[in-house]
A and B are shown apart, each in its own frame.
Chain A
Amino acid sequence: MSAVTVIYALLFYTATSILVGGVAYKVFVYARTPQPLKIPTTPAPTTRTGVVWRILKEITVFESLFKSNKWIWLFGWVFHFALLLVLLRHLRYFTEPVWTWVALIQPFGIYAGFGMLIGLAGLWARRFLVDRVRYITNLSDHLMLALLAGIAASGLIMKYLTHTDIVALKAFFLGLILFEWQPLPTDFMLLVHLALVATLMIIFPISKLLHAPGVFFSPTRNQIDNPRERRHVAGWTAENAGKQTG
């Protein structure tokens, strides 16, 4: 077993634990924290089904963003949709046999890599070209874009230029899952790609990537507009809520 294999095996165990543990912890914190008052941004749905529909629209077609700014929407949506396809396509490296639907999206998944890059390029360009967005951009925002672009680019390079031993790679990951380690191919581009992915996994729970779980917990989006019909109490409004002085 080469040192590289050991290092990457440990890296992916660590990254996965941090990603899963960190996000689970954040979700736990969001779920545990009370929302004392009703603050949906209205007009808001008056039923639970309506709220599910509202959030579904937010996470699939980015409804609010669409209302807000067509350029950000376009680049953001292209990036996220492409990312989804790419992630799904990558399931083929972690499953044996490969599920039929994963095999079916394979061709789209490959082009989606370009979609990611185009989306990222658009978003990144805005950070330089639009003075308002330039003003609010921190170094970390550039690094995040660089990381994502690096992942997409290194993936595409492997696909089209410096092919890697994909069978051995799959054996490595299946080995990680089954705790029977297999050697990792050591081409440079693959090691870069995997290192960047692991980095992304590690910083996920401590970065703005928390918008992914956050969107489900945002009270302005997930609360039902029914304060007159149903008395809502939580957190400080639940203290002494039953005993009014009047």
Chain B
Amino acid sequence: MAKAEFLTPELTEYLTVPHVRAETMAHSRPFVAKPEHQESVGYPGELMDGWEEKAVLKLGELVRGSRALQVFLDSCVKCGACTDKCHYYLGTSDPKNMPVARQDLLRSVYRRYYTFAGKYFPKLVGARDMTKDVLDEWYSYFHQCSQCRRCSVYCPYGIDTAEISMAARDVMDAVGLGQKYSNEIIGKVHKIGNNLGLPGPALKDTLEGLEEDVKEDTGVDVKFPVDEKGAEVLVITPSADFFAEPHIDGLIGYAKVFHQAGISWTLSSYASEAANFSMFIGSRHNLKKAAMRIREAAIDLGVKRIVVGECGHAWRVAYSFWNTLIGPFDFLDPNYPVPQHICEVTYDLIQRGALTLDKEANDDKVVTFHDSCNVSRASRMGNMPGGQFIIPRAVIKASVNKFHDMAPDTIYEGTFCCGGGGGLLTDDLIELRVKGAMPRMQALKQVVDEYGVNYMAAICAICKSQFTKVLPYYKFPMDMIGSVHGLVSTAIQLGTKQ
């Protein structure tokens, strides 16, 4: 793709809802998966003959197997409440990025083939045949949804466009039209165990390097163990934590926390990935297959607990789906929830006084926190609803002196997506990513101007990579984004407690 030419949206004083400008993003489409990527995840290599019929059948099958789809496709009243809730609409003005309009791309086809009104009065209810034009439109706009679920918070029936996008991508994959970025990555997880395709020996090398770095920095032997049988905790973290900035500071933070708390832990070279992109493409068998590696690793290593690192959708999969997909976890210590989020672990240790944190070490930073979509709207931490907002903030506030939240309607369950979630974190979608980040950048600008915020902490690998890339488009320094456990890592005083 040629260097994308587009205008970065202006940040105004307040977020305004743009007027509809049709088709402004009709050209945005990610690279199509090659046959080998398709086949590595169990789908036909290319758009098959008779795909129209196959797609319609697949859609029917999906709806019959999902109460969510069944209810969502019937219930929308076109009230419009969701129309100004999607960051992609706010950033692009393209009406097909309004959640209800995105749903309608699929609903129109469902109606045509599976409902009375659509079969006999298609014009009246906007039902459409499954044609190549429709498929192209699906491919474009279902890859302009980061499955962030913000729309589902505000819909009076809880209609979740993410579910519809996942179904649409599943249908497209089933007829041979897949997205290169996601499918290639899922294939790597099946083959090697992580998104990066980083084999075991390379992983070990990287971690040894990290041990040396930390030793040099702190003078303390903080271990980064791999495949250590009998460790208490298996840490499952996004593979970006192994070397991407600023993710790696988070990983160092986890290691220091375990070190100071005296908890033995290990990574697994077999299950070296928390991310599970199969969710993005709505693929059941890939979702389960990728998750199963983790169960296998936990049993193999004989650990007692599983802790998940900083990653948004991975935490959703872990928290909401693991027990269903790869449970029951009767072989683990029943005294701990399975899985546990690293923030829950650190928070508990802070509560128990097991960590020594010197907030002043972070005094160069004025911090805000970006709630990641999947953590906020699709999971929980701790034992009360909303713990996913309280716990990471508590961890941050225990590590820094200066903290300011962004505007109330842009955090917690109303948080704005980073713009790169849901399998869209790829350079072929850079225009979409930059424009979709606008609402978050807007809210960030407010706290930058008002409080001098210079550090935005996050607990999601995708958010961190996405912001690193898009912050400069909005004239913010790219290293403004950081890990929550990066802050912990700086604050923690090793050697004070052993």
Contact = CB atoms under 8 A, between A and B. Distances in A.
B413 A43 contact: yes
A2 interface: no
A60 interface: no
Nearest to A138: B126
A136 B98 contact: yes
A123 B155 CA distance: 16
Interface stretch (B199-207, B378-386, B480-488): B378-386
Interface of A: 26, 29-30, 33-39, 41-46, 50, 58, 62, 64-65, 67-69, 72, 76, 123, 126, 130-133, 135-141, 143, 206-208, 210-211, 214-215, 217-221, 225, 227-233, 235-237, 241, 244-246
Given A138-B126, A214-B71, A36 B80 contact: no
B10 interface: no
A231 B328 contact: yes
B244 to A, nearest CB: 27
Contact of A208 (B76, B321, B376, B379): B76
Interface residues of B, number: 77
B385 A46 contact: yes
Contacts, number: 218
A215 B85 contact: no
A206 to B, nearest CB: 5
A207 B120 CA distance: 13
A231 B327 contact: yes
A236 B284 contact: yes
Contacts of A236: 65, 284
Given A39-B160, A135-B98, A246 B80 contact: no
Interface stretch (B146-154, B175-183, B208-216, B447-455): B146-154
A140 B155 contact: no
A132 B124 contact: no
B70 A33 contact: yes
Interface string B98-136: 101100100000000001110001011110000000000
Interface stretch (B190-198, B234-242, B291-299, B417-425): B291-299
B377 A41 contact: yes
B81 A72 contact: yes
B352 interface: no
B64 interface: yes
Contact of B378 (A30, A39, A140): A39
A227 B83 contact: no
Contact of A58 (B80, B156, B295): B156
Given A136-B101, A138-B125, A221-B157, A35 B66 contact: yes
B385 A132 contact: no
Contacts of A38: 320-321, 324
A211 B76 CA distance: 7
Contacts of B72: 218
A36 B166 CA distance: 14
A105 B163 CA distance: 43
B394 to A, nearest CB: 16
A235 B20 CA distance: 40
Given A39-B320, A220-B159, A233-B324, 19 more contacts: A26-B74, A34-B65, A36-B66, A50-B385, A64-B156, A69-B84, A69-B154, A136-B95, A140-B125, A206-B116, A211-B156, A214-B71, A218-B72, A218-B157, A218-B159, A228-B323, A235-B66, A245-B292, A246-B298
Nearest to A220: B158
Interface centre among B124, B376, B383 (most CB of A within 10 A): B124
Given A42-B385, A44-B385, A135-B98, A244 B326 contact: yes
Nearest to B72: A218
Contacts of A235: 65-66
Nearest to B288: A237
A30 B115 CA distance: 15
A71 to B, nearest CB: 10
B278 interface: no
Given A34-B67, A42-B380, A208 B74 contact: yes
Contacts of B385: 42-46, 50, 225
Given A37-B321, A246-B299, A215 B84 contact: no
B124 A139 contact: yes
Nearest to A130: B80
B42 interface: no
A126 B83 CA distance: 12
Contacts of B115: 206
Contacts of B20: 131-132, 135
Contacts of A42: 376-380, 385, 388, 413
Interface centre among B71, B116, B325 (most CB of A within 10 A): B71
Interface centre among B78, B100, B158, B325 (most CB of A within 10 A): B158
B323 A227 contact: yes
Contact of B154 (A67, A130, A139, A245): A67
Interface string B61-98: 00011111011101111111111110000000001001
B284 A211 contact: no
